[in-house]
Amino acid sequence: MAHLLLIEDDAAIRTTLLRALRERGHAVAASHTAMDGLQTALAERPDLVVLDLGLPDLDGRELLRMLRAVSAVPVIVATARDDETEIVRVLDAGADDYIVKPFTAAQLDARVRAVLRRGGTGPGEAALTVGGLRIDAGARTATLDGASLDLTPREFDLLHHLATRAGQVVSKRELLNEVWQIPYGGADKTVDVHLSWLRRKLGETAQEPRYLHTVRGVGVRLSGPA
Ligand code: CA
């Protein structure tokens, strides 16, 4: 199961694909314009985006460039234009794969799974462990001493990013950058609030940390209990 974002303006196609992909166990969000799609991609940080090239407000290829400037999310382009030049262009513009309309949900699902496997964010990716914490990026699940943690997508991303840098102090600037995708500005307070929620879910406090260690004036470090 993956968290997908479908950007498609055709209501009939959108509804059919939404239902079919959900039946296949994916969590799917949908947008019917390019700008809404871009915002949703940044806010929800899906595992993969399925992007229709013919959108009402902006050419899908233009959206792909904008998305690529701020995110490495895998993108499958859905195109009615099955000419080779077009396909080469979208792959050059940063698409991970393409699918030519009309296609079935089963075909799309197969592409989605293939791209996620290739990208290393699929269910096959090895889980990260830090002490009693286990973080599975493919399944987007985390457990602490075998008990599953009920995390929001943002809390999960935060924990996952810290786990990839386990043992090192990570600055709030880097977290705003990597987890919130805010390249400039942004408030440290945002990070602090989410860290305090995460801390509560890990059953610890800032005063008596087990995993999340604040290094005053520098950032935060995730490490296993001594
Ligand atoms: Ca369209």
- Supply the pLDDT for residue 55: 93
pLDDT at 123: 43
Distance 26 CA to ligand 1 centre (A): 22
pLDDT reported for residue 121: 46
Report the distance separating Cα 72 and Cα 80, nearest Å: 24
Q: How confident is the model at residue 119 (pLDDT cuts 50, 70, 90)?
A: low
Cβ–Cβ < 8 Å for 144, 151: no
Highest averaged pLDDT of the listed ranges 83-92, 94-103, 120-129 = 94-103
31: left (phi over 0), alpha (psi -120 to 50) or beta: beta
In tens, the pLDDT along 24-46 reads: 989 999 999 999 999 999 998 89
Q: 34 alpha carbon to ligand 1 midpoint, in Å?
A: 10
Residue 215 CB partners (closer than 8 Å, separation 6+):
169, 221
| Ligand 1 center–CA 205 separation, angstroms | 50
Question: How far, in Å, from the CA of 14 to the mean position of ligand 1?
Answer: 10
**Which CATH number, 1.20.120.80, 1.10.1840.10, 3.40.50.2300, 1.10.10.10, labels domain 128-222?**
1.10.10.10
Does the domain made of 3-116 have the CATH classification 1.25.40.10?
A: no
Spacing, Cα 25 to ligand 1 middle (Å): 25
| Phi/psi at 165 (5° precision) | -115, 30
Domain ranges for the chain: 3-116, 128-222
